[in-house]
């Protein structure tokens, strides 16, 4: 029939539910940051303030559970389940809102699970340099990964939660900010996209913030 167009439908990936605790927290924070203030997502089923509180509760529970104990582990699992449930509701909302707009879907912080030419497992990134980029900042340099849509770079210093996490659409220079001068950080990166949502984390490298 004339005038009929075939619009491609994109699907929101739900693989976040299988992420380890530390990575689930990072993912939830990315979704909250990306969707807050975006007019296209102004009426989510779970208000961003509520989602943010669930994220904070989960982080607290994960940190507490590191001390061991059955009750703390049960509390952590309950907090995780509550966060995943809220993220699933948010994912369904994004699916309805952005099913025909891949750029908008990706802008939410969720991944695209639709079939495409990029549905292959991504290679791990390789950090070729970490440089001091002014006070409290480190610049991470990597070659691009084929078919990656973006990159996640994190800095840790032994705590249960990364000291800094950045999602970047380019690999040439990713800047980690708000670091503590004199502290040595472990830096890792992974590519986002492909058939599994994420590549493996790259080999760690260390650098001191100035």
- What are the tens digits of pLDDT across the range 165-180? 998 888 999 999 999 9
User: How many domains does the chain fold into?
Assistant: 2
Predicted pLDDT at 3: 46
Query: Do 98 and 28 fall into the same domain?
Result: yes
HSE, side-chain direction, 13 A CA sphere, residue 38 = 21
- Domain membership flag for residue 185: yes
Regarding whether 155 and 73 lie in a shared domain, the answer is no
Asked whether residue 113 is assigned to any structural domain, the reply reads no
Last residue of a domain, which of 54, 72, 107?
107
Is the domain of 88 the same as that of 19? yes
pLDDT tens readout for residues 17-27: 988 888 888 88
Is residue 82 included in any domain, yes or no?
Answer: yes
Q: How far is CA 139 from CA 130, 184, 188, in A?
A: 6, 14, 12
Residues 199 and 134 in one domain: yes
Within this chain, do residues 43 and 101 fall inside the same structural domain, yes or no? yes
Q: Do both 82 and 47 map to the same domain?
A: yes
pLDDT band per the 50, 70, 90 thresholds, residue 66:
confident
Residue 6 is assigned to a structural domain of this protein: no
In a domain, 115, yes or no: no
Residue-wise pLDDT tens digits, 29-44: 889 988 999 999 999 9
Q: What are the DSSP E strand ranges found in 169-208? A: 174-176, 184-193, 197-198, 205-208
Together in a domain, 77 and 36:
yes
- 152 is written with which tokens? 């996640």
Comparing 10 with 154, which gets the higher pLDDT?
A: 154
Band (pLDDT 50/70/90 cuts) for residue 159 is confident
- What CATH number is attached to the domain comprising 169? 2.60.40.10
Percent of the chain residues past pLDDT 90, beyond the cut: 59
Against a cut of 0.85, is the pTM above it?
A: no
Residue 118 lies in a domain: no
Task: Judge if 147 and 68 occupy the same domain.
Answer: no
Residue 117 has pLDDT above 50, yes or no: no
Q: Angle 168-174-176 (CA atoms, 0-180°, nearest 5)?
A: 105
Question: What's the mean per-residue pLDDT of the chain?
Answer: 89
- DSSP conformation class of 8: -
How big is the chain by its Cα radius of gyration, in Å? 18
Helix, strand or coil, per DSSP, at residue 6 = coil
Model pLDDT, residue 119: 56
- Same domain for 134 and 103, yes or no, is no
70 lies in the same domain as 134:
no
In-domain check, residue 146? yes
- Domain of 24, in residue numbers: 15-107
- Verify that 65 and 144 share a domain, yes or no: no
C-alpha 97: how far from chain center: 20
Whether 161 is covered by a domain: the verdict is yes
């Amino acid at each position: 029939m004339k005038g009929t167009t075939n619009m491609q439908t994109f699907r929101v990936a739900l693989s976040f539910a299988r992420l380890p605790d530390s990575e689930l927290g990072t993912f939830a924070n990315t979704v909250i940051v990306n969707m807050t203030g975006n007019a296209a997502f102004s009426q989510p089923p779970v208000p961003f303030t509520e989602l943010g509180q669930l994220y904070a509760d989960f982080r607290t529970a994960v940190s507490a559970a590191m001390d061991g104990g059955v009750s703390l582990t049960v509390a952590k699992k309950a907090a995780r389940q509550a966060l995943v449930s809220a993220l699933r509701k948010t994912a369904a909302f994004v699916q309805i809102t952005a099913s025909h707009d891949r750029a908008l879907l990706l802008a939410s912080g969720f991944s695209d699970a639709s079939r495409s030419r990029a549905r292959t497992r991504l290679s791990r990134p390789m950090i070729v340099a970490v440089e001091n980029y002014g006070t409290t900042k480190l610049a991470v340099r990597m070659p691009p990964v084929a078919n990656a849509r973006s990159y996640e770079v994190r800095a840790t210093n032994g705590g249960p939660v990364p000291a800094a996490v950045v999602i970047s659409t380019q690999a040439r220079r990713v800047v980690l900010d708000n670091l503590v001068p004199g502290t040595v950080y472990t830096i890792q990166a992974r590519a986002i996209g492909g058939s599994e949502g994420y590549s493996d984390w790259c080999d760690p490298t260390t650098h001191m913030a100035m």
